[in-house]
Structure 1
Amino acid sequence: MIRIDAHQHYWALARKDYGWLGPHRPVINRDFLPHDLEPEMRAAGVVQSIVVQSTPTLAETEFLLFLAETTPSILGVVGWVDLEAQHALEDLRRLSENPLFLGVRAMAQPNPDANWLAQIAHSPALSFMAARGLSLDALVQPHHLPALDTLCRANPELTVVINHAAKPEIGVRPMDEWQCRIARLATLPNVSCKLSGLTVFSDRIDALQPYVDVLVSQFGPSRLIWGSDWPVLKESADYGAWVSLCDRVLRGLDNRDVAQIFGDSAQQIYGTEVRLAA
């Protein structure tokens, strides 16, 4: 089984565009670069990773692409582009010339307008992305899912990947509304979902299992993608523990389905291929 971490981050604080970091998050308020993660990946049997943007600047995307070009453990980059800007198409065209650029993440979570994704549903940038085979990662919470549904239905050729299972508030709110909205999105063949970022809510199997069961039943292994959300993960769990926890919550699946979630889905959905060392 080839394991790919399809959602992790790198940052260098000296770049000074990580406004969401600071002393209030002491565990992750330092540089995190490939030499920090690679030993943990090797110990967990993870061969490559997809790096995802963590701040809304083109400069960070270019920094991540530089890392990808010089770091064999990086499979590709999901970056950021201002999808509403007049120069969005120019930015996408330039970035997409790099084969390591896999897509764009839309950051709905920090946007005060819960309907923002619906408002950009007919953006020419999304049509361009679909035509180029670029994905749209969606950083969303449950209340953003109706707007995301509108966007996905307006762009049936665009590959959309829900990040962190839309951050269900496990143990805080009933799962019914989240489950209903996830199920509606899962009926769309262009929508996939990441199994990532859940230990921020709970690291107990009995708490996570019902949510993972919903994801597996709704998306199936071919549209469910495993990721770590490292180093944000470090605030609630360590890397090996998250891998082990996912092994346990997926234990009811056969080996082929587990392999699909842990690596094959990422390659198929992002349109890339693991490069193994000779």
Structure 2
Amino acid sequence: MGCSPCSLNFSGCNSNWGERRVRVDAHQHYWKLERGDYGWISPEMKAIYKDFGPADLLRHLTDNGIDKTIVVQAAPTLRDTEFMLELAASNESIAGIVGWLDLHSPNYLEQFQTFRKHPSFVGFRVMIQEMENADEVLEPEVIEALRHFAGIGFPVDLLMHSSQLPSVLKLLKAVPGLHAVIDHIAKPDIAAGQWQPWAEQMEEIASYPGIYCKLSGMVTEADHRAWQPEQLTPYIRHTLDLFGPERVMFGSDWPVCLLAASYDQVVRTLDEALPKTWGEREKAALFGGNALRFYKLEHLQR
């Protein structure tokens, strides 16, 4: 049996940690350019301006011992979510789909109920990053919708730039029970060496016990051509200190990561930055257990 979904105390877990645990990449994408709703992917992005599907990722998963992945929406459209759910139905490597809902629509609950009929629909993402004014996430209809999802404990991904963290903090105060994960450690400007106010704002975010953080998307916030692993280490360590080993998840952000690094480099850089005091329990939680608990997929661990 796996750990209780509500337990954050490793010492209280009765799992047999001598057994191999399911390893999960908690954040990656698939897309088909001909679908036409990926406006952010341009021909100048040569490394990723092409189609990516499960067959393209399989070798990288095998090489790194990754069993399952969480596929996250790459376009803020209902069609993109439908596309991913179709992929999940025919690919065992996909543990779950994080889709998109139009929270400004009076029909958002109908959208939710339609997607929820699919067992692989495990969450949705709020695209704060794409908002002209990040305070749009505080509009009454959005707050009402997120309070509904907080009430039922449904998982929510939050995507933002670090400059938008003040709005995210206001959101968490308005919806303190939100069961959410911060994508890409909130995208600090690693290339410029940004530390504050990101570090303090993340500390406040971590004070909300229902909020997790994905250690993902860091290489593309660094200098794409000249980043070094040691530049990421302080950001990784600070995030681990704040959220602890029980509220962090590994995510490759593949294939977006290919703009700056290979899948293997992303995995290796995170693994080598982990505290020397971390043992197999902490690593198993980071590389799978926490994602399965957050997205309510604990049955895959048994």
Range moving further from structure 2, 56-65 or 254-263:
254-263
Find the counterpart in structure 2 of residue 36 from structure 1.
56
Find the counterpart in structure 1 of residue 26 from structure 2.
6
Instruction: State whether residues 194 and 225 of structure 1, in contact with CA within 8 Å, keep that contact through their aligned partners in structure 2.
Output: yes
| Structure 2 letter corresponding to 1:271 | K
The answer to whether 1:207 aligns with 2:231 is yes
**How far is 1:93 from its partner?**
1.8
Find the counterpart in structure 2 of residue 160 from structure 1.
180
Find the counterpart in structure 2 of residue 103 from structure 1.
123
The alignment partner of 1:221 has SS state of coil
**Within 5 A, what are the aligned runs for 1:11-22?**
11-22=31-42
The answer to whether 1:248 aligns with 2:275 is no
Find the counterpart in structure 1 of residue 297 from structure 2.
272
**How far is 1:100 from its partner?**
1.1
The alignment partner of 2:217 has SS state of coil
Find the counterpart in structure 1 of residue 254 from structure 2.
230
Name the CA distance, whole Å, in 2 between partners of 1:241 and 1:160.
Answer: 27
Name the CA distance, whole Å, in 1 between partners of 2:82 and 2:153.
Answer: 19
The alignment partner of 1:229 has SS state of coil
Deviations 1:102-125 (A, max 9, x none): 111111112110222233586332
Range moving further from structure 2, 158-167 or 122-131:
122-131
The alignment partner of 2:134 has SS state of coil
The alignment partner of 1:222 has SS state of coil
Instruction: State whether residues 121 and 151 of structure 1, in contact with CA within 8 Å, keep that contact through their aligned partners in structure 2.
Output: no
- RMSD, aligned CA: 1.8
Deviations 1:152-202 (A, max 9, x none): 222233211100000111141430210000000000011111000111115
| Structure 2 letter corresponding to 1:261 | L
- CA change 1:176–1:121 in 2 (3 A) is farther
- CA change 1:97–1:131 in 2 (3 A) is farther
| Structure 2 letter corresponding to 1:154 | A
- CA change 1:123–1:90 in 2 (3 A) is farther
Find the counterpart in structure 2 of residue 257 from structure 1.
282
Instruction: State whether residues 30 and 84 of structure 2, in contact with CA within 8 Å, keep that contact through their aligned partners in structure 1.
Output: yes
Range moving further from structure 2, 7-16 or 252-261:
252-261
Task: Report the identity percentage.
Answer: 38
Deviations 1:105-156 (A, max 9, x none): 1111121102222335863322332344321111101111111112222223
Range moving further from structure 2, 55-64 or 243-252:
243-252
Find the counterpart in structure 1 of residue 216 from structure 2.
196
The answer to whether 1:125 aligns with 2:150 is no
**How far is 1:275 from its partner?**
3.9
Instruction: State whether residues 21 and 29 of structure 1, in contact with CA within 8 Å, keep that contact through their aligned partners in structure 2.
Output: yes
**How far is 1:247 from its partner?**
0.9
Name the CA distance, whole Å, in 1 between partners of 2:144 and 2:275.
Answer: 42
**How far is 1:205 from its partner?**
2.7
**Within 5 A, what are the aligned runs for 1:170-185?**
170-185=190-205
Name the CA distance, whole Å, in 1 between partners of 2:156 and 2:140.
Answer: 12
- TM-score when normalising by structure 2: 0.87
| Structure 1 letter corresponding to 2:282 | D
**Within 5 A, what are the aligned runs for 1:56-71?**
56-71=76-91
Instruction: State whether residues 142 and 168 of structure 1, in contact with CA within 8 Å, keep that contact through their aligned partners in structure 2.
Output: yes
Deviations 1:6-64 (A, max 9, x none): 00000011211111112121111111000000111011100000000011100010110
Deviations 1:233-254 (A, max 9, x none): 1111001111111110014222
Name the CA distance, whole Å, in 2 between partners of 1:123 and 1:153.
Answer: 11
- CA change 1:15–1:122 in 2 (3 A) is closer
Name the CA distance, whole Å, in 1 between partners of 2:98 and 2:84.
Answer: 9
